[in-house]
Each structure stands twice: as structure tokens, then as C-alpha cells.
């Protein structure tokens, strides 16, 4: 036993001096060494030129494309808003038809939410976070790139539909039966296109959470990381629990649209309320997913303009985490008028009021910082001030709407439209524009115009209030949302005209802002490196730009290192800190421990590639073709997407390193490989599976929801899944899990042959189990009633996941045979067994529901 144990621990540990002593840091680096190191780093991180530029995966390039794409989608959705306002300017207008109007408002809402607000958070975070954390890049650059290309393809597909008069038109929350019965591909475009983008969002969430937890600079313990990183972590976690219910809902909805399985059809036992629940379990946290990272930008700007550390760092952490939790207890306030029991409404009304407390705490912390600091009223601060004013007004109407009796009156009127625009403009649009002005020197190494910025601010701020302040009154005077025209004489005419004028004033402001962004700035003199005199790490960036992210990764000891560690900048630039070199010409960044950011590994990160685009394009095909019921090409695309992803993983992740450890600088030697809990890949798998498990839990919730909403569920005399086959399925999948975990343990103990045998048998057990599950429901007719339909849906879910699990087992088997997976370098099998932990749980729950529920309920 002892031999292999020793060998196991032969994966080297970090060794050498940590933390670095002052003498080590003070020792100068010879000039010629510096120059040679910089040259090698530059070569390793060079951005591809010419046509190959588009293969770049560097966070700075992908982040820019992501931001610009989201901006373009936002402008398109803005133009739709202008058309909506133009149509509503005067009563009985015939500018656009009712059908076109429905498409416009549906697409305006959907695009602003799914193609602008959430992707913009991901885009900005991918762009800024490595800089704030002194990391060279995100831990999985190709995953960011994959997410971006998915977003681009999905976004163009969804928004493009409006040019073909085929856009979704049932409102951005797609309520059945309107959306399920709607003819034409509109609803399918919404469901499949946006599901595809949600996958990209979850990919970004994984990337950002792992980046925040594992890629901080040495010494940056959790109590001193930038507040932006706290918000990113909270929002990443929220995405994992908020998006999957919608994905599960989309799955059921699309099964109803494509195959007429009656999940939301009351005549056959379905219930449209299930969609409302699943949608709003996503939809309400989503508002905070949009709001928190934007207000995080304010948390970065405010200390800089107040020229002092933030007041109440812990209070803001409380606010971010507290809001993150409470925001999941609010969703029914969108459903106050659906006839739920009073007591249920009471819970959600109370929670909706409670969320005001943490939200208010952070605003007071900002105000306190401004009060005790010496404020310099810069342009970014002007936008933040506008944001706080507008958001507070939106918050006040929110307090009103959270009271059920008031909501009964104002529901589905323009009062709600005014409220949501106040919260989203104040909570998202203004802080993001503030962030653009503030971070532009970091992103583009140029300054935006102070004068144009002030013009844009006052136009948008005044235009905004001109548009939306009167809408409160329009709503209270009874104008419902989503009507394409209205008769004269109801008192709405003047108010609507004012709103329309205001909308065009906003548009003028945006035109100035966009012009300022894109106008050529070649003649501008070189900017100062830290133009706002901020204290956080991103302002150590190189001017003019270098693609390496940071010259050397510093040791951080305070919340505002540039204010507290004056010698830091020079030491970074001379390569005095960690990873000052790329000796093997490979891209690397430092991985540190979760809480205390102690260096534990030098992580190789992936470089430019076409394979990510190919994978995204085929994934896109797999989602887009089913919209038109073209299933054969969809299946071909799905298979090719899987092939691309396998190729990508095989050729560039968890490769056996050329040396087990390397010199990381400052006398520290770090391992170049990690597996299990220590590796970033394991964390990514864990986080992904948490999201996946949430989606599965939403399906199971659906099953029990039908039980509560109906008197006979399962219905009298219904056929059930074949019990012995369900039992067999549970057995097969459990054996597959046990063999996978067994293979991992045998492999660790150098029993490679036995491990390979396990990995060869496990796929058979998994396939047998999944087949038994499918056969057990084969006799049931899912079109007839929701009970067989939901059993089918669960069986499909488990079978598809078992299929993915089989591919992973075979991947590990191949890895073992071809020397990619060895007893020492075994990250792949750790990740796969983690996947199977989740899968066996899902399989057993499914089998319990299918096999036991008929007897128990």
C-alpha cells in the first residue's frame, strides 16, 4: 500500500518561501533579464494578426467583442422602443400593425433582458475581472470564447427574426396558452434561441465564479478582494440557481410546441401556472442578476472619487449576499393576480418588502463614503449620481407594488412599465455607462470626451424622466400595457405624447454616447496610466497596451494596494513578482487557494483556436434547426458539436505537463498540474453540475406541482411506468456510477488494468440502465395526459445525461490507453466521477418518483 501512496503524493507540493520577504521584493531585477522575460511573455500572449485575429481567446479581446455585440443588440432593441413610442404617440395611430406591435414589444423586452442586460454583465466581468484580480486571463479562456460565439449566433438568430416578420409576439414572458398556441415559429425562436444563450450564460457564470475563487493574486484574502469580485461571485451563484428553472421550463414548453405533450394544457391535466412559476423563479432573481453587478461598478467608482476606502465593506458584502438570497423569495409578486391563496401572497409580499433592507444598506454605504470623502465630481460620478436618484425612485414604486392590494390595481398597467424602467435604468443602464466612462482608459487606453459625456448624461437623464415619470400617471389612469393603440378622450393622449418626445430625447443622448465611443481617437495623446488615481489593481495596466494582462502577479496586502503599497507598480513592471517569465512559451496564470489566496499551482491556459467557433456553430445548429422542425440536420449538428468539444478538451485541457513543477518567481516552486478539489476544472464541473441539478429539481418540482394543483394526479386508472424496469434502470445507473468511482480509486493505486476494465464496463451498465428507463415508459402515450408526459420528460432527461456520462467514461478510458490519464495525472477521472455523483442522484430520484409515486400519492 505504501508504494503507491508515496507515488500519489509525488505530485509536488508548493515549496519555497511564502509570503515573500521585504528583502526579496526590494532586490532589483537586472535590465537584460527583464527585457528577455518581457519578450518571451509578449510572444506567448501575442494576439493573432489578420484574419486569425478572430481566433483570439484572450479575455481582453473576447470581452470587447462581447460588450460591443451586447451594445448593438441594445441599440436595436432601443430602436424597437422608439417604434413602440412612435406608434403610441397619438391615439388610433396606424403606424404599425397590431401584429407588428406585438412582435416589437416582445422583442424589445426579450432582447433587453437576454441579449443586453445579462450578457453585458458577463462581458464587462470577463473584460475587467482579470485586471482587478491581477490575473493574466480567466481560467478557461476558450470557454469564454465559446460562450461569446454562442451568444452572437443565438442573438443574431433571435433578433433577426423581426426582419422576417417571424418574431415571437406573446410578450417577453411567453405565457401559455397564448404562446403555446401561437402559430408560426415565433415562440420556438424565443424558446430555442434563448435557451442556447442561457447555456452561454451558465458557461460565463462558471468561468467567473472559478476566476474569483481561484485566480486571485497571492495574499488577496476574501476580506480584501475588490467589492466587484464579491458581487461577481454572488451573481454567478444566482445565475446557477435562477437560469436552470427557465431551461427546464423551456424544455417542457418546447416538448409541448413540437410534440403536443400537454404540460401547460389544462384540458389534458396540464397547468399554465407551472410555466409562470418556472419563468418567474428565473425572472425575479434575474432582475437582481442585472442590478447587482452594475451597482458593483458604483462600488468601484465611489471610493475613487471620494478618494478614500469604501465605508462599510462588510456591510456591502452583507448587502450583496443578502440581496442574492432574498431575491429568490419574490417571484410570486409577479403573479399576485393569479388567484393564489392570500397567505401565499402574504409570504411573497413580505419578502419583497424585506429585500429593501439589504438593497438600501448598500446605497447608504455609498452615500456615507461620499459624505466622509473629498469628492471630485468626475463624469463617471455624475452618471452614478443619476443612477442612485433614478433607482431610488424605482425602489419606492417597488415598495408600493409589492403590496398585493395596490398591485391588484396597478397590475398590467403603465405604472408597472414606469416602475421597471426606473429600476432597470437606475440600477443597470446608468451605472454601466458610468463604468464605460470610468474603465474606458483601462479598456482602450484612450479617454472619452468630458463634454460629450455631460451632454449625453443630461439628455438621457432628462429624456428618461420625461418618458417614464408621466407613465406612472398614465398607468394610474388605467392605460394597460401592450395595447397597440387607444381611443382618444381617456385622458391618456397628452401623457403619451410627452413620453414619446422623451423617448427621442433619450435616443439623442445615446447617439452622442455611441459617437463618443466609436469616433476615431488616434490623435489623442497617450493617457495617464491611472487617470482617476484609483487604488485597485486593474490600474496597473500597461499603457500602451500589452496583451499579457499583467507583467508580474503581485503579492497584495490591502484592499486598495495602489494607495497602500506605493512601490507595487514599479515592482510589477520590472517583473519582481510572480510569473514574470514564460520560459516554455506557454500562457500561464497563477492559481491560489479559495479563502486565503495562497499560491498553489501554475495553471496553463488555452490559446487562440478555431475549434471553439466550430463548437459554437454546431451547438447553434443543434438549437436552431429544431425551430423549423428540421430534426436530421439538428442531430448531425449536435453530434459534430460533441466531436468538436471532445477534440478541444483532448488537445488542450489537463495535459500531462513537461515538468511536474516550475519556478514561479520569488523563490517559490509550484506544481504545474492539479486534480480533484485542487484543480480549477473540478470546480468548474462542480459549479456546472449545481446548475444542472437545479434544472432537474425544477422538473421534479413540476411533477409535484401537478400533484398539488389537481385532485387526481396520477389520474384514476392511468398506466404507470413498468416498475421492474424502473428498478433495473436504477440498478444499471448506480452500477455505472460505482464503476466510475472505482476506476478513479483503482487508477490512483496504480491498478491501471482494473481501472480500464471498470471504465469499459461502466458505459454498458449506464446504457443498459438508460435503455431500461426508456422502455419502462414506452407504452405510455405522452400526448394524452400530462402524467405520462412528465414521466417521459424525466426519462429523457436522465437518458440524455447518461449518454453524456457514457461519453465521459469512454473519454477517460481513451485517456488511460493513450497516456493522457495516468495514476498521477488523473484530473479527468476526478471530474467525471463528480459528474456521476450528480447523475446517480438524479437517476435515483427519477426512479423513485416514477416507481414509487403511483403507490404513494
Partner 1 sequence: MTERKEQLEEFAEERASLMKITMGPLIWAIHFVICYGLAAVTCAKGWDIEMARAGLLVFSVGSLGAIVWVGWNSWRQWNPHETGDYFNSWGRAEDRHHFLGHAAFLLAIISFLGVVFTSLPLVMLGGCQ
Residue 350 engages partner 1 in binding (rule: CB under 8 A): yes
Distance CA 669, CA 601 (A): 9
Distance CA 845, CA 795 (A): 11
Residue 257 engages partner 1 in binding (rule: CB under 8 A): no
Residue 328 engages partner 1 in binding (rule: CB under 8 A): yes
Q: Which of 559, 571, 587, 662 binds partner 1 (CB under 8 A)?
A: 559
Cβ 704 vs Cβ 850: under 8 Å: no
Q: Which CB sits closer to partner 1, 81 or 365?
A: 365
Residue 314 engages partner 1 in binding (rule: CB under 8 A): yes
Selection from 318, 137, 308 nearest residue 214 by Cα: 137
Q: How many residues bind partner 1 (CB under 8 A)?
A: 52
Q: Which CB sits closer to partner 1, 5 or 629?
A: 5
Q: What is the 3-state secondary structure (H, E, C) of 595-610?
A: CCCCEEEEEECCCCCC
Residue 134 engages partner 1 in binding (rule: CB under 8 A): no
Residue 313 engages partner 1 in binding (rule: CB under 8 A): yes
Q: Which CB sits closer to partner 1, 483 or 595?
A: 595
Cβ 271 vs Cβ 705: under 8 Å: yes
Residue 449 engages partner 1 in binding (rule: CB under 8 A): no
* Nearest approach, Cβ of residue 821 and partner 1 (Å): 19
Distance CA 149, CA 142 (A): 10
Residue 351 engages partner 1 in binding (rule: CB under 8 A): yes
Cβ 641 vs Cβ 618: under 8 Å: yes
Q: Which of 326, 382, 503, 605 binds partner 1 (CB under 8 A)?
A: 326
Cβ 188 vs Cβ 627: under 8 Å: yes
Distance CA 340, CA 352 (A): 16
Q: Which CB sits closer to partner 1, 347 or 724?
A: 347
Burial profile 433-461: b = 16 or more Cβ within 10 angstroms, e = fewer: bbbbbbbbbbbebebbbeebbebbbebbb
- How many residues belong to the chain? 857
Q: Which of 557, 617, 754, 764 binds partner 1 (CB under 8 A)?
A: 557
Q: Which of 354, 400, 473, 501 binds partner 1 (CB under 8 A)?
A: 354
* Nearest approach, Cβ of residue 684 and partner 1 (Å): 16
Which residue in this structure is represented by grid cell 441579449?
115
Q: Which of 358, 475, 620, 769 binds partner 1 (CB under 8 A)?
A: 358
Q: 846-850 — which CB contacts under 8 Å span 24+ positions?
A: 846/700, 846/773, 846/794, 846/795, 846/797, 846/798, 847/726, 847/727, 847/729, 847/730, 847/773, 849/700, 849/703, 849/794, 850/720, 850/721, 850/726, 850/773, 850/776, 850/777, 850/791, 850/794, 850/795
Q: Which of 54, 173, 175, 315 binds partner 1 (CB under 8 A)?
A: 315
Distance CA 244, CA 278 (A): 9
* Nearest approach, Cβ of residue 317 and partner 1 (Å): 5
DSSP string, 380-417: HHHHHHHHHHHHHHHHHHHHHHTSHHHHHHHTTBHHHH
* Nearest approach, Cβ of residue 594 and partner 1 (Å): 5
Q: Which CB sits closer to partner 1, 484 or 683?
A: 683
Residue 556 engages partner 1 in binding (rule: CB under 8 A): yes
* Nearest approach, Cβ of residue 705 and partner 1 (Å): 9
Residue 541: CB partners within 8 Å, gap ≥ 6? 131, 442, 445, 529, 550
Distance CA 121, CA 807 (A): 33
* Nearest approach, Cβ of residue 336 and partner 1 (Å): 13
Residue 372 engages partner 1 in binding (rule: CB under 8 A): no
* Nearest approach, Cβ of residue 560 and partner 1 (Å): 9
Q: Which of 75, 178, 222, 508 binds partner 1 (CB under 8 A)?
A: 222
Cβ 115 vs Cβ 159: under 8 Å: yes
Distance CA 727, CA 166 (A): 46
Distance CA 71, CA 561 (A): 32
Residue 716 engages partner 1 in binding (rule: CB under 8 A): no
Residue 708 engages partner 1 in binding (rule: CB under 8 A): yes
Q: Segment contacting partner 1 (CB under 8 A): 320-328, 383-391, 690-698, 769-777? A: 320-328
Residue 15 engages partner 1 in binding (rule: CB under 8 A): no
Q: Segment contacting partner 1 (CB under 8 A): 29-37, 381-389, 538-546, 556-564? A: 556-564
Sign, CA dihedral 429-432-438-439, equals: negative
Residue 219 engages partner 1 in binding (rule: CB under 8 A): yes
Residue 223 engages partner 1 in binding (rule: CB under 8 A): yes
Print the binding letters for residues 583-622 with partner 1: x by CB under 8 A, - otherwise: ----------xxxx--------------------------
* Nearest approach, Cβ of residue 285 and partner 1 (Å): 12
Cβ 601 vs Cβ 678: under 8 Å: yes
Residue 698 engages partner 1 in binding (rule: CB under 8 A): no
Q: Segment contacting partner 1 (CB under 8 A): 145-153, 319-327, 454-462, 495-503? A: 319-327
Residue 364 engages partner 1 in binding (rule: CB under 8 A): no
Residue 856 engages partner 1 in binding (rule: CB under 8 A): no
* Nearest approach, Cβ of residue 332 and partner 1 (Å): 8
How many other CB atoms sit within 10 Å of the CB of residue 28?
11
Distance CA 727, CA 360 (A): 52
* Nearest approach, Cβ of residue 277 and partner 1 (Å): 10
* Nearest approach, Cβ of residue 171 and partner 1 (Å): 25
* Nearest approach, Cβ of residue 106 and partner 1 (Å): 30
HSE, CB side, 13 Å, CA atoms: give it for residue 289.
27
Distance CA 757, CA 665 (A): 43
Selection from 241, 149, 272, 129 nearest residue 200 by Cα: 149
Q: Which of 33, 321, 734, 841 binds partner 1 (CB under 8 A)?
A: 321
Q: Segment contacting partner 1 (CB under 8 A): 338-346, 463-471, 758-766, 785-793? A: 338-346
* Nearest approach, Cβ of residue 12 and partner 1 (Å): 10
Q: Which CB sits closer to partner 1, 346 or 480?
A: 346
Residues 670 to 689 in contact with partner 1, rule: CB under 8 A = 677-678
Distances (CA, A) of 338 to 280, 347, 465: 13, 15, 32
* Nearest approach, Cβ of residue 343 and partner 1 (Å): 5
HSE, CB side, 13 Å, CA atoms: give it for residue 789.
27
Residue 828: CB partners within 8 Å, gap ≥ 6? 654, 811, 812, 815, 820, 821
Q: Segment contacting partner 1 (CB under 8 A): 155-163, 336-344, 385-393, 441-449? A: 336-344
* Nearest approach, Cβ of residue 490 and partner 1 (Å): 33
Q: Which of 40, 221, 529, 586 binds partner 1 (CB under 8 A)?
A: 221
How many other CB atoms sit within 10 Å of the CB of residue 96?
17
Distance of CA 459 to the CA centre of its chain: 31
Q: Segment contacting partner 1 (CB under 8 A): 2-10, 88-96, 268-276, 521-529? A: 2-10
Residue 5 engages partner 1 in binding (rule: CB under 8 A): yes
Q: Segment contacting partner 1 (CB under 8 A): 216-224, 422-430, 527-535, 757-765? A: 216-224
Q: Which CB sits closer to partner 1, 78 or 561?
A: 561
Q: Give me 200's grid cell.
A: 452561454
**Which residues lie near partner 1 (CB under 8 A)?**
5-6, 8-9, 13, 219-224, 309, 313-315, 317-318, 321-322, 324-326, 328-329, 340-351, 353-354, 357-358, 556-559, 593-596, 677-678, 708-709
Amino acid at each position: 500500500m505504501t508504494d503507491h501512496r508515496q507515488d500519489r503524493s509525488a505530485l509536488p507540493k508548493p515549496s519555497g518561501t511564502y509570503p515573500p520577504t521585504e528583502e526579496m521584493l526590494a532586490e532589483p531585477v537586472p535590465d537584460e533579464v527583464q527585457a528577455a522575460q518581457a519578450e518571451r511573455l509578449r510572444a506567448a500572449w501575442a494576439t493573432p494578426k489578420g484574419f486569425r485575429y478572430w481566433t483570439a481567446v484572450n479575455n481582453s479581446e473576447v470581452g470587447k467583442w462581447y460588450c460591443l455585440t451586447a451594445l448593438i443588440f441594445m441599440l436595436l432593441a432601443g430602436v424597437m422602443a422608439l417604434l413602440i413610442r412612435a406608434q403610441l404617440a397619438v391615439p388610433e395611430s396606424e403606424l404599425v400593425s397590431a401584429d407588428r406591435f406585438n412582435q416589437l414589444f416582445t422583442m424589445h423586452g426579450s432582447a433587453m433582458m437576454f441579449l443586453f442586460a445579462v450578457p453585458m454583465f458577463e462581458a464587462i466581468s470577463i473584460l475587467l475581472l482579470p485586471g482587478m484580480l491581477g490575473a493574466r486571463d480567466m481560467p478557461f479562456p476558450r470557454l469564454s470564447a465559446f460562450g461569446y460565439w454562442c451568444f452572437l449566433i443565438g442573438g443574431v438568430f433571435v433578433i433577426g427574426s423581426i426582419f422576417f416578420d417571424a418574431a415571437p409576439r406573446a410578450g417577453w414572458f411567453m405565457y401559455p396558452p397564448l404562446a403555446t398556441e401561437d402559430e408560426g415559429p415565433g415562440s420556438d425562436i424565443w424558446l430555442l434561441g434563448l435557451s442556447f444563450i442561457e447555456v452561454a450564460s451558465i458557461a460565463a457564470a462558471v468561468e467567473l465564479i472559478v476566476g474569483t475563487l481561484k485566480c486571485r493574486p497571492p495574499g488577496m484574502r476574501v476580506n480584501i478582494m475588490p467589492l466587484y469580485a464579491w458581487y461577481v461571485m454572488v451573481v454567478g451563484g444566482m445565475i446557477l440557481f435562477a437560469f436552470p428553472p427557465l431551461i427546464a421550463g423551456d424544455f417542457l414548453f418546447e416538448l409541448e410546441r413540437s410534440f403536443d405533450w400537454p404540460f401547460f394544457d389544462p384540458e389534458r391535466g396540464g397547468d399554465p401556472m407551472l410555466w409562470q412559476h418556472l419563468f418567474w423563479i428565473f425572472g425575479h432573481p434575474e432582475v437582481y442578476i442585472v442590478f447587482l453587478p452594475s451597482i458593483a461598478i458604483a462600488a468601484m467608482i465611489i471610493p475613487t472619487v471620494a478618494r478614500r476606502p469604501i465605508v462599510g465593506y462588510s456591510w456591502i458584502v452583507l448587502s450583496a449576499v443578502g440581496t442574492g438570497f432574498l431575491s429568490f423569495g419574490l417571484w410570486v409578486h409577479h403573479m399576485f393576480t393569479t388567484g393564489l391563496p392570500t397567505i401565499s401572497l402574504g409570504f411573497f409580499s413580505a419578502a419583497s418588502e424585506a429585500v429593501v433592507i439589504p438593497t438600501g444598506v448598500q446605497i447608504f454605504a455609498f452615500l456615507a463614503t461620499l459624505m466622509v470623502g473629498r469628492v471630485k465630481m468626475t463624469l463617471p460620478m455624475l452618471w452614478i449620481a443619476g443612477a442612485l436618484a433614478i433607482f431610488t425612485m424605482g425602489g419606492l414604486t417597488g415598495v408600493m407594488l409589492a403590496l398585493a392590494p395596490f398591485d391588484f390595481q396597478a397590475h398590467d398597467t403603465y405604472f408597472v412599465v414606469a416602475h421597471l424602467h426606473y429600476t432597470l435604468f437606475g440600477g443597470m443602464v446608468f451605472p454601466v455607462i458610468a463604468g464605460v466612462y470610468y474603465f474606458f482608459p483601462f479598456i482602450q487606453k484612450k479617454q472619452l470626451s468630458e463634454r460629450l459625456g455631460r451632454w449625453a448624461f443630461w439628455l438621457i437623464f432628462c429624456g428618461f424622466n420625461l418618458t417614464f415619470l408621466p407613465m406612472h400617471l398614465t398607468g394610474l389612469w388605467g392605460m394597460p400595457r401592450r395595447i397597440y393603440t387607444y381611443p382618444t378622450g381617456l385622458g391618456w393622449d397628452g401623457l403619451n405624447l410627452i413620453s414619446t418626445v422623451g423617448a427621442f430625447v433619450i435616443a439623442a443622448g445615446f447617439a452622442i454616447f455611441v459617437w463618443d465611443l466609436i469616433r476615431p481617437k488616434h490623435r489623442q495623446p497617450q493617457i495617464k496610466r491611472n487617470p482617476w488615481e484609483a487604488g485597485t489593481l486593474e490600474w496597473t495596466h500597461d499603457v500602451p497596451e500589452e496583451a499579457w494582462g499583467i507583467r508580474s502577479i503581485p503579492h497584495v496586502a490591502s484592499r486598495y494596494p495602489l494607495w497602500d503599497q506605493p512601490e507595487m507598480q514599479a515592482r510589477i513592471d520590472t517583473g519582481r513578482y510572480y510569473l514574470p517569465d514564460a520560459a516554455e512559451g506557454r500562457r500561464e496564470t497563477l492559481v491560489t487557494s479559495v479563502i486565503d489566496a495562497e499560491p498553489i499551482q501554475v495553471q496553463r491556459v488555452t490559446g487562440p483556436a478555431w475549434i471553439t467557433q466550430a463548437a459554437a456553430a454546431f451547438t447553434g445548429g443543434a438549437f436552431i434547426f429544431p425551430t423549423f422542425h428540421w430534426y436530421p440536420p439538428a442531430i448531425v449538428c449536435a453530434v459534430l458539436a460533441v466531436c468538436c468539444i471532445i477534440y478541444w478538451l483532448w488537445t488542450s485541457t489537463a495535459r500531462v505537463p513537461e515538468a511536474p513543477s516550475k519556478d514561479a518567481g520569488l523563490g517559490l516552486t509550484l506544481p504545474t498540474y492539479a486534480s480533484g478539489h485542487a484543480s480549477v476544472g473540478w470546480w468548474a464541473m462542480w459549479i456546472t453540475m449545481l446548475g444542472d441539478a437545479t434544472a432537474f429539481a425544477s422538473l421534479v418540482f413540476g411533477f409535484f406541482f401537478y400533484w398539488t394543483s389537481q385532485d387526481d394526479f396520477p389520474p384514476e386508472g392511468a398506466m404507470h411506468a413498468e416498475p421492474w424496469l424502473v428498478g433495473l434502470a436504477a440498478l444499471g445507473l448506480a452500477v455505472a456510477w460505482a464503476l466510475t468511482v472505482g476506476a478513479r480509486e483503482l487508477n490512483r493505486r496504480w491498478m491501471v488494468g482494473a481501472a480500464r476494465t471498470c471504465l469499459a464496463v461502466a458505459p454498458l451498465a449506464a446504457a443498459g440502465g438508460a435503455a431500461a428507463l426508456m422502455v419502462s415508459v414506452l407504452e405510455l402515450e405522452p400526448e394524452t395526459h400530462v402524467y405520462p408526459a412528465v414521466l417521459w420528460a424525466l426519462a429523457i432527461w436522465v437518458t440524455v445525461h447518461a449518454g453524456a456520462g457514457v461519453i465521459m467514461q469512454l473519454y477517460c478510458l481513451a485517456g488511460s490507453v493513450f497516456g493522457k490519464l495516468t495514476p498521477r495525472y488523473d484530473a479527468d477521472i476526478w471530474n467525471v466521477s463528480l459528474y456521476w455523483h450528480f447523475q446517480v442522484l438524479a437517476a435515483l430520484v427519477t426512479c423513485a418518483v416514477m416507481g414509487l409515486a403511483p403507490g404513494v400519492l
